[in-house]
Amino acid sequence: MNLIEKHDRSTPEDQMQEYVARYFDGYKWTPAVQSWKMVVPISKTFREVRIPDIGRISDVIVYVTPRKVINIECKTNDVPGVIEQAKDHLKWADYSYICLHALTYIAPKYIQDMVDLGIGLMLYQDDFCGNRPEFLADVIGARHNTKKRGKDPELRKRVNEILKKRAAIRTAENHEQIKMEINEL
């Protein structure tokens, strides 16, 4: 019997995704210590990226370098489902994370599944958790994914092409916005 009090998970996944993307825009991955360090942002984040080869949409992709791409799946509940999603993204991502609301109950079996698969776990906390500011905690670190663990180099190449196109579109939109702002002056 689950004695943990149920709560209304009023945090929509979209809000969680937005916070995660903004968070990683301000941090840089430091592989030496396997952690995130606040620096001038150099990584690019993308939201809601369709990966047609696996029939999934990635919630957040952090593109650090062409050789270090991180997938993050955000959910307010449905732990078994989000593990399956993160597992599918291991076919192309270097690191795959799950981001759950801090008040979500996670059975020990699912924690063990994440560890066994090398999937990381982040917990998102919003002001629903006792009027505290938004916060993201890296609880379980993701293990680096390699070809030996099942990463498909061809699929990875196609995902990199999708991300490059999205980055080019974003750059063009930013230039257009700057031009409009200059013309308004």
Whether residue 4 is contained in a domain is answered as no
Domain assignment present for 100: yes
Is 151 part of a structural domain of the chain? yes
Domain hosting 80: range is 13-184
Q: Is residue 6 part of a domain?
A: no
Question: Which pLDDT belongs to residue 82?
Answer: 93
Report yes or no on 5 lying in a domain.
no
Report pLDDT digits (tens) over 118-167.
999 998 887 655 555 567 777 888 888 887 777 888 898 899 888 888 88
Q: What is the CATH number of the domain that holds 140?
A: 3.40.1350
- Whether 62 is in a domain gets the answer yes
Question: Residue 90 — φ and ψ, nearest 5°?
Answer: -65, -10
- Count of domains for the chain: 1
Write out pLDDT tens, residues 78-95. Answer: 899 999 999 999 999 999
User: Is 10 strand, coil or helix?
Assistant: coil
pLDDT at 38: 44
Question: Does residue 3 sit within a domain?
Answer: no
Report the distance separating Cα 16 and Cα 103, nearest Å: 13
Binned at pLDDT 50, 70 and 90, residue 27 comes out as low
Please choose, from the candidates 78, 77, 75, the residue with its C-alpha nearest in 3D space to the C-alpha of residue 59: 75
What element of type H or E holds 109? helix 108-117
Spatial distance between the Cα atoms of 12 and 10, rounded to a whole number of angstroms: 6
* Residue that has been written with the tokens 């047609």 in this structure: 52
Q: How many CB atoms lie within 10 A of CB 85?
A: 21
- Measure CA of the first residue to CA of the last residue in the chain; give whole Å: 64
Tokens, residue 66: 């062409």
- Mean pLDDT, to the nearest integer, of 35-45? 55
On whether residue 165 sits in a domain, the answer given is: yes
